[in-house]
Amino acid sequence: MLSVRNLSISVGPAGKRVVDDLSFDLASGDMLALVGESGSGKTMAARSVLALLPPPLVTTPDSAILFDGQNLARLAPQGLRAIRGAEIGMVFQEPMVSLNPAITIGEQMAEGLRLHRRMARAEIRDRSLAMLERIRIKDPGKCLAAYPHEFSGGMRQRIMLASVMLLKPRLLIADEPTTALDTLVQRDVLDLMVELTRENGTAVLLISHDLGMVSHYVRDVVVMREGKAVEQGNSTEVLHAPRHEYTRRLVDALPKRSAGGSRGTVSGEPLVEISDVVIDYPGRRRLFARTEPKRAVDGVDLTIRRGETLALVGASGSGKTTLGRAIVGLIKPSSGTISFLGKTIANNGGADARALRRDMQIVFQDPYSSLDPRQRIADIVAEPLKLDAGMDRRQRTARVEDIFEEVGLTRELLQRFPHQLSGGQRQRVAIARAIARRPAFVVADEPVSALDMTVQKQILLLIRSLQARYGFACLFVSHDLGAVEQVADRVAVMQDGRIVEIGDRDAVFDNPRHAYTRSLLDAAMLIDRRFAGSADARRAAAQ
């Protein structure tokens, strides 16, 4: 169905090539994955199929993108308009960006049918309702009248998928469709995508950096590096017995349990003590009524000791991020106590509580949102040090330069702004800011959720090495069980605001007691641990 030949994409007609001489085939009903690190060119290659390249990127004259024998690279805009949506659909990486926030879900779902199928309004509504029921939306009629911001990330991605599949396209391009979703929602969205495409005989071109997910769902894979295809073939053979050094590096970057096992309960003194904490969000006011309040955290007890890493895991909406923010004072609990170094800080706005909070820091999930875009990196990292009256400007500058070296960044980046850094570099800056004052406790909120595998590995190793050097305790909030398995000493599992299981990492992963923990582990798409050893073992297993 789709045959890409000698695809090259350059910055302008004679500029640098971001995709260089890429070729692959995709048959009707099959699934092919383009995998690689951020910046490898996989998204640009996929967008070129629909001529959606952002300027100044252009395909070179010798590129051929054959869809049923028709070269899309040479097709006029009018011809492309008839194919986009109707014959080839695309699910973008971030549904909140690709869904129009000012238009109802019903209007957005109807647009493609109205343009390409010329249906009556009543028939469009009936088809939309049927599709929403198909993707297991509880109240389809209410959904049609709602706006994108009223849904979770997983629900928005399902709605986006439903909108695209309404037209029954022959080819679906899915660009990182599950990035930053928790394991249960990831599995749900991907299973739904497979069901819908199988029903319609739709071929799928999947773009991803998640090798675990690719190994579970995709038969054929193309590994890209700096715009070139370095290896391609059957996903089992490529991922279990990689021939190219770069593919081996990607597979080796997958999180693996640290050798020597978990340290279990660290013997240090209790640092953070949480007792019967409840956090309620008030209902939202709508015209003459207020919606019901929501209980985000429901009677949680936890103890975190000096120097240990406690991982807090659970699906989106389980309350784990809310609890982490409450510990560092960003959210006030409705009831219960939070103590730090034996002193109560929850609901305490006094000078003593503020002084204690200087010894606690947080690394937010999205460093692009949490770093001030108007400040230079040096000023961002130095800001917490301004609260230390014993440091002058020269000492602060020296500390910032030392921290930058510790987190693996070069000093030349200090005068840049956040938008001039990659995602991995921005996360390192966020970590540098958090450890600048040498805190005793750090909350790391989903620190690797949207990073590719090699950068994830670097950040996780960085957190471990800094913790070994400075001895701070860490609450590692994550839905990525692969990352948790690599860094945690103990694991606490949250469901609907409650801790349903807590224990040493090895005990929770190898012998989960609660059904919810087992469902999380079952949904985690990790490459079979038998292949996590040497390259020779992987090759032997694949043979």
Residue 536: pLDDT above 50? no
CATH code for position 248 = 3.40.50.300
The average pLDDT across 470-490 equals 91
Q: Which has the minimum average pLDDT: 126-135, 360-369, 518-527?
A: 518-527
pLDDT of residue 288: 63
Q: What are residue 31's DSSP bridge partners?
A: 204
The average pLDDT across 253-261 equals 65
Angle at the Cα of 297 from the Cα atoms of 295 and 302, rounded to 5 degrees: 165
Reported confidence tier of residue 95, pLDDT bands at 50, 70, 90: low
**More confident call, 426 vs 268:** 426
Residue 254: pLDDT above 90? no
Is residue 489 one of the residues assigned to a domain? no
Reported confidence tier of residue 501, pLDDT bands at 50, 70, 90: very high
pLDDT of residue 344: 86
Q: Give the burial class of 271: count Cβ atoms within 10 A of its Cβ; 0-12 exposed, 13-18 middle, 19 or more buried.
A: buried
Residues 206, 33: contact at Cβ < 8 Å?
Answer: yes
pLDDT of residue 265: 57
Residue 367: pLDDT above 80? no
**More confident call, 28 vs 292:** 28
Is residue 195 one of the residues assigned to a domain? yes
Question: Residue 243 and residue 229: Cα distance in Å, rounded?
Answer: 13
pLDDT digits (tens, 9 = 90+) for 146-191: 999 888 777 888 899 999 999 999 999 999 888 767 788 888 888 9
pLDDT of residue 281: 85
**More confident call, 197 vs 348:** 197
> How many domains, the chain?
1
**More confident call, 3 vs 178:** 3
Is residue 182 one of the residues assigned to a domain? yes
Q: Which domain holds residue 12?
A: 2-252
Mean pLDDT across the chain: 88
**More confident call, 42 vs 292:** 42
pLDDT digits (tens, 9 = 90+) for 391-443: 889 999 999 999 999 998 888 999 999 988 888 899 999 999 999 999 999 99
pLDDT of residue 187: 87
Is residue 345 one of the residues assigned to a domain? no
Reported confidence tier of residue 263, pLDDT bands at 50, 70, 90: low
Is residue 210 one of the residues assigned to a domain? yes
Reported confidence tier of residue 62, pLDDT bands at 50, 70, 90: very high
The token duo for 511 is 């012998």
- E strands, 396-448, in order: 441-445
Residue 61: pLDDT above 60? yes
Reported confidence tier of residue 506, pLDDT bands at 50, 70, 90: very high
pLDDT of residue 452: 80
Residue 84 in 3-state DSSP? strand
Cα torsion 212, 214, 216, 220: sign: negative
Q: Considering only CA atoms, which of 318, 314, 307, 313 is closest in space to residue 484? A: 313
Is residue 30 one of the residues assigned to a domain? yes
Tell me the pTM. 0.81
Residue 196: pLDDT above 80? yes
Is residue 71 one of the residues assigned to a domain? yes
Which residues contact residue 411 at a Cβ distance below 8 angstroms, ignoring those fewer than 6 apart? 401, 404, 405
Is residue 232 one of the residues assigned to a domain? yes
Reported confidence tier of residue 533, pLDDT bands at 50, 70, 90: very low
Question: Residue 480 and residue 526: Cα distance in Å, rounded?
Answer: 10
The average pLDDT across 343-347 equals 77
pLDDT of residue 350: 67
